[in-house]
A and B are shown apart, each in its own frame.
Chain A
């Protein structure tokens, strides 16, 4: 797994139009994290650097004196996709059909937008873009992913975009390829995840006060590192479990002030067609020990803190899973730490029952009584 996979990972955080497109602090960290995972033997296992292209702002000399100097440009990114087309053509010439590999990963982080007259598309603004001059140079991640999916150059296409999807009028959409449709392309799998819903902004912050990340990438990477395991097959992260995880844990990685706001969306957007028997393994859960490396990882557990009101201290409490099966019993102290797998639970004590969840991400304490 992985040797026939390819990845294009882009993180743009410096733009020529620094006035309108303020510098970001998270995209390079996000792209580096994803690249590290996608090329890791315990992650995506894509051969690097041969089949994994990393494009970052810091690979180019800055500051940019004029828009023409700003890099990476839309052309620089599209040239990586062009390379895949060339590989497909080589394979076709060798009689193997227009195909490149098993899986294509696309990861984009930076400023982005959804074009006003076709807001199903999501574009990453490239370094030379200028909002002030209405020159919105871009690469449309969803178009690129769809194009390679339709052309059937891969069996699976996974797209992750951590960028804003504010709706901007852009009359010249950069859709550089002629349409190609491979045979039965609609039966091939695609999994697209966006850090913001249509018309919404994506956010970045530094949870540790030092290193900035996009909220979506924080959630995604926590999931890919194991928290998004599939309860039906805990050794693996599947497309379904990753989707469920991203929907449910995203809010817990949000900037605390955003979490409180009623006008801020608290879920990302996932596009994944769930067909019978079409669920696929995104990656195995990374093993933590040598034993796990041999027999496969087990479902991860996460610490949950339960605070008990004074009148309940010393009383027995039972924690049941979502099927009402007993998981553990504790004697309540003012503060109680329990390790639990992902899921919903109920704590029962003194004729009271308090439902709570364990999502895999950071959560506020459970208060009882």
Chain B
């Protein structure tokens, strides 16, 4: 056996997963951000994965092998950052210009910036030149009382040439706001935008081109950051790049926060969005370890982030949702508005199993629980006040679920008797029925309310019901009360 060769592989993007694969295509080892490999000489493949992008290259590994630095991965982001796929210099300039502008000033102390643009090609000869959409179409900013702050279609500054871009910056009082989109299919989708004192919340969106519908802003894959008030957009910002990679990697199931990012997220001067996203990855680390029967106690790290964010931002639903997970709940905080991040929403739902008053029945949060819309990292919902809002579709699902959870596995004969019997009895190989037509299942029946209540006394069953339905326990209890009446 030849002596092993040691070499370091470092990715410019610290969230990159690095895989070393041998000549039999077998995974040898992996790391995140940076990794020292020690392997026998040979021909290996190094694969880099960041967010949803992979790249790979073969290397001849011999004694004296030099360290390898992997280039930035080219990912797509609604932020017009350098070294990303969907960027134009004129979009970067539009974002930069908007940062120094005030389009409206109904308040003071905080600001919200929205940059929405279309991107069709990096090659200027191939960009869309006909039927150019207005990127701001259908976008509005409202408060949680339903008052309109601005209709972006009317108030945004726009360039409606090829690869159009609309920007809007408003000074507001610190508080909770909703970004609302009237989609071409008639659905009104919303999300929370928190404006914190002394901070500016910046929203970057690309257009979604769905088949059969006019283009509209893509809230699902939007990027949101928080920067000190009056900061100018920097397309080379490593903080913004890191935020975007963590946001994209969250959707890919990232469960380990690399050391470099962990330190940045825990820094008292961290970018708030990086700290929020980083806290969720750290929480995932512990949850993931628990699922594998290992134990990681990282609540101290999450608490540090919570303390830092409370000092920076004040009241913020995402920070308070994380605080519950870290055992640092602020008893006085009531979740009147949904958190911005879907992970925070999921944490809040889980916590509501033990503390139902976190999401009181009929509160705004309870009303949107069965209207959660789309996927991605943000909490999006279909407007509960819209006339065509869907009914409580989770009732029949809950009925089925409660019935299933009440049942038990059929009794099995003792193993010893099986052992003897198996020599004398043939296993059944009854053939599949040959008929092609399906037999339709019986319709779902009624819920036995008393049985359901008994079942929900078990904390594990309560958690299962909330996890599977995505509905706060207060809403389930209220539904059972109504059934009883």
User: Using a CB–CB distance below 8 Å, which chain A residues touch chain B?
Assistant: 4, 19-20, 47, 49-53, 59-60, 71-73, 75-76, 78-80, 83, 86-87, 89-92, 94-101, 116-119, 134, 151, 166-169, 171-173, 175-181, 183, 197-200, 231-232, 240, 244-245, 247-248, 262-263, 265-267, 321-324, 342-346, 353, 355-357, 359
Residues from 397 to 426 in B contacting A, C-beta threshold 8 Å: 397, 400-401, 404-405, 407-410, 412-413, 415, 417-418, 421-422, 425
B438 A178 Cβ-Cβ under 8 A: no
Neighbouring A residues of B75 by C-beta, 8 Å: 262-263
| Also in contact, A92 and B253, with CB within 8 A (given A169-B373, A343-B24, A344-B43) | no
Give the 10 A-B residue pairs with the shortest CB-CB distance, closest first: A322-B23, A76-B438, A167-B375, A50-B431, A355-B58, A178-B407, A344-B23, A95-B421, A172-B397, A344-B43
Give the complex CA separation of A169 and B390 in angstroms: 13
B23 A266 Cβ-Cβ under 8 A: no
* Most chain B CB atoms below 10 A, which of A86, A87, A177, A342: A87
B428 A244 Cβ-Cβ under 8 A: no
Neighbouring A residues of B332 by C-beta, 8 Å: none
- Stretch of B106-114, B152-160, B463-471 contacting A (4+ beta carbons < 8 Å): B463-471
Give the complex CA separation of A176 and B45 in angstroms: 44
Neighbouring A residues of B401 by C-beta, 8 Å: 175
Known: A97-B413, A324-B42. 10 other contacts (CB 8 A): A72-B438, A91-B427, A178-B404, A197-B52, A245-B25, A262-B75, A262-B85, A263-B52, A265-B54, A322-B22
Q: For residue B437, give the distance in angstroms from its CB to the closest CB of chain A.
A: 7
Give the complex CA separation of A89 and B404 in angstroms: 18
B412 A92 Cβ-Cβ under 8 A: yes
Neighbouring A residues of B23 by C-beta, 8 Å: 321-323, 343-345
B436 A60 Cβ-Cβ under 8 A: yes
Could you jot down 28 A-B contacts, CB within 8 Å? A19-B212, A49-B432, A53-B432, A59-B436, A75-B438, A76-B438, A78-B441, A79-B433, A83-B432, A96-B422, A97-B412, A98-B410, A116-B372, A118-B467, A167-B374, A171-B397, A171-B469, A173-B468, A176-B441, A179-B409, A197-B252, A199-B251, A199-B252, A240-B26, A248-B25, A343-B23, A345-B23, A353-B60
Give the complex CA separation of A118 and B470 in angstroms: 9
A87 B430 Cβ-Cβ under 8 A: yes
Residues from 7 to 46 in B contacting A, C-beta threshold 8 Å: 21-27, 40-45
B418 A96 Cβ-Cβ under 8 A: yes
Neighbouring A residues of B257 by C-beta, 8 Å: none
Give the complex CA separation of A88 and B101 in angstroms: 70
- Which chain B residue lies CB-closest to A113? B375
Neighbouring A residues of B422 by C-beta, 8 Å: 96
Write out, one digit per residue, whether chain B residues 427-449 have a CB within 8 A of any chain A CB (1) or not (0).
11111111011111100000000
Q: Which of A78, A172, A179, A355 contacts B59 (CB 8 A)?
A: A355
Neighbouring B residues of A345 by C-beta, 8 Å: 23, 43
Give the complex CA separation of A279 and B437 in angstroms: 39
Neighbouring B residues of A324 by C-beta, 8 Å: 41-42
Residue B396 interfacial (CB < 8 Å): yes
- Which chain B residue lies CB-closest to A231? B24
Q: Which of B60, B396, B410 contacts A89 (CB 8 A)?
A: B410
Write out, one digit per residue, whether chain B residues 358-383 have a CB within 8 A of any chain A CB (1) or not (0).
00000000000010111110000000
B252 A198 Cβ-Cβ under 8 A: yes
Neighbouring B residues of A197 by C-beta, 8 Å: 52, 252
B394 A263 Cβ-Cβ under 8 A: no
Neighbouring A residues of B469 by C-beta, 8 Å: 171
Q: For residue B198, give the distance in angstroms from its CB to the closest CB of chain A.
A: 34
Neighbouring B residues of A173 by C-beta, 8 Å: 397, 468
Neighbouring A residues of B428 by C-beta, 8 Å: 87, 90-91, 94
Count residues of B near A (Cβ-Cβ below 8 Å): 73
Neighbouring B residues of A248 by C-beta, 8 Å: 21, 25, 45
Give the complex CA separation of A50 and B434 in angstroms: 9
Residue B393 interfacial (CB < 8 Å): yes
Give the complex CA separation of A177 and B349 in angstroms: 25
A99 B374 Cβ-Cβ under 8 A: no
- Which chain B residue lies CB-closest to A261? B85
B432 A51 Cβ-Cβ under 8 A: yes
Neighbouring B residues of A323 by C-beta, 8 Å: 23, 40, 42
Q: Which of B52, B375, B427, B470 contacts A96 (CB 8 A)?
A: B427
Give the complex CA separation of A359 and B422 in angstroms: 44
Q: Which of A79, A98, A232, A244 contacts B412 (CB 8 A)?
A: A98
Write out, one digit per residue, whether chain B residues 262-303 have a CB within 8 A of any chain A CB (1) or not (0).
000000000000000000000000000000000000000000
A95 B418 Cβ-Cβ under 8 A: yes
Residue B203 interfacial (CB < 8 Å): no
Q: For residue B398, give the distance in angstroms from its CB to the closest CB of chain A.
A: 9
Q: Which of A4, A59, A322 contacts B427 (CB 8 A)?
A: A4
Q: Which of B26, B417, B437 contacts A71 (CB 8 A)?
A: B437
Residue B53 interfacial (CB < 8 Å): yes
Q: Which of A262, A321, A355 contacts B60 (CB 8 A)?
A: A355
Give the complex CA separation of A86 and B253 in angstroms: 37
Q: For residue B448, give the distance in angstroms from its CB to the closest CB of chain A.
A: 15
A244 B427 Cβ-Cβ under 8 A: no
A95 B52 Cβ-Cβ under 8 A: no
Q: For residue A147, give the distance in angstroms from its CB to the closest CB of chain B.
A: 11
Residue B76 interfacial (CB < 8 Å): yes
Q: For residue A138, give the distance in angstroms from its CB to the closest CB of chain B.
A: 13
| Also in contact, A198 and B417, with CB within 8 A (given A72-B438, A118-B468) | no
* Most chain A CB atoms below 10 A, which of B23, B44, B85, B396: B23
Neighbouring A residues of B433 by C-beta, 8 Å: 79, 83
Residue B6 interfacial (CB < 8 Å): no
Q: Which of A73, A117, A267 contacts B470 (CB 8 A)?
A: A117
Neighbouring A residues of B436 by C-beta, 8 Å: 59-60, 71
Q: For residue A153, give the distance in angstroms from its CB to the closest CB of chain B.
A: 11
Residue B74 interfacial (CB < 8 Å): yes
A178 B405 Cβ-Cβ under 8 A: yes
* Most chain B CB atoms below 10 A, which of A79, A100, A200: A79
- Which chain B residue lies CB-closest to A232? B24
Give the complex CA separation of A279 and B189 in angstroms: 48
- Which chain B residue lies CB-closest to A87? B428
A267 B54 Cβ-Cβ under 8 A: yes
Give the complex CA separation of A171 and B475 in angstroms: 15
Give the complex CA separation of A75 and B74 in angstroms: 44
Write out, one digit per residue, whether chain B residues 187-202 have a CB within 8 A of any chain A CB (1) or not (0).
0000000000000000
